[in-house]
Each structure stands twice: as structure tokens, then as C-alpha cells.
Amino acid sequence: MAYGGGAAVAAAAAIAQATKASGAIVTVEPQDFLKLVSRMDKPLVVVARAGVFKSHYEYLTSYKGLIFFTKSETDLMLPGSTETVFSKRIWVPNM
């Protein structure tokens, strides 16, 4: 086995552990994310602006024990009752 193979195995194990620690992360389209947030009484949404060459926005919220994530090229218009936490970065494991 080459040395690079060990690093790949370690990276896969780290991703699996992160997924176990964070629970299920569901990636949805931006319009579905907005529908979900609109169902909540007092939603809490984490927002980050990301991207190196082309910026985009990332959103994260929790609903009924699941974590929902979306990316959007434009800033989403969240409901007025939304509590927003701005983050430098949102990281979700690649599956």
C-alpha cells in the first residue's frame, strides 16, 4: 500500500466520525430550505458567506432532529422571525 492510501483511509474515517458526531445532515435546494424554515415558530439559522473565486451563501438549521443544509448563489430572504447567527465558515462532511 502506498503512503497516500493511508491518508485517504484516515480522511474517510475522520469524515465518518464527524457525521456520527453531528447526526444526519440533509442537503436541500434553497427553495425547500425556505419552506422548511417558514414552518418553524422561531427558527435559528446559521449563515456563512463562502467561496474563493465565486462567492455563495451557505445555510444550516435544525428541524425535528435533523440538520438541513443548503447553498445559494444569492442571499436568501429568511422569514422575519428568524434568529440568524453569522459564521465565518460552515463545514459539512462530503459524502
Side chain identity at 52, as an amino acid letter? V
> Global pTM?
0.75
Q: How would residue 51 be classed by pLDDT, with cut points 50, 70 and 90?
A: confident
Higher pLDDT, 8 or 29: 29
Q: What pLDDT is recorded for position 1?
A: 46
Q: How far apart are CA 25 and CA 19, in angstroms?
A: 8
At 9-26, the pLDDT tens digits run 666 666 556 555 556 789
CA end-to-end span of the chain: 24
| Strand-pair category, 83-87 with 66-72 | unpaired
The CATH architecture annotation of domain 24-95 reads 2-Layer Sandwich (3.30)
At 56-79, the pLDDT tens digits run 999 999 999 899 999 999 999 999
Q: What angle do CA 63, 50, 75 make, to 5 degrees?
A: 65
Annotated domain spans of the chain = 24-95
Does residue 43 register a pLDDT over 90?
yes
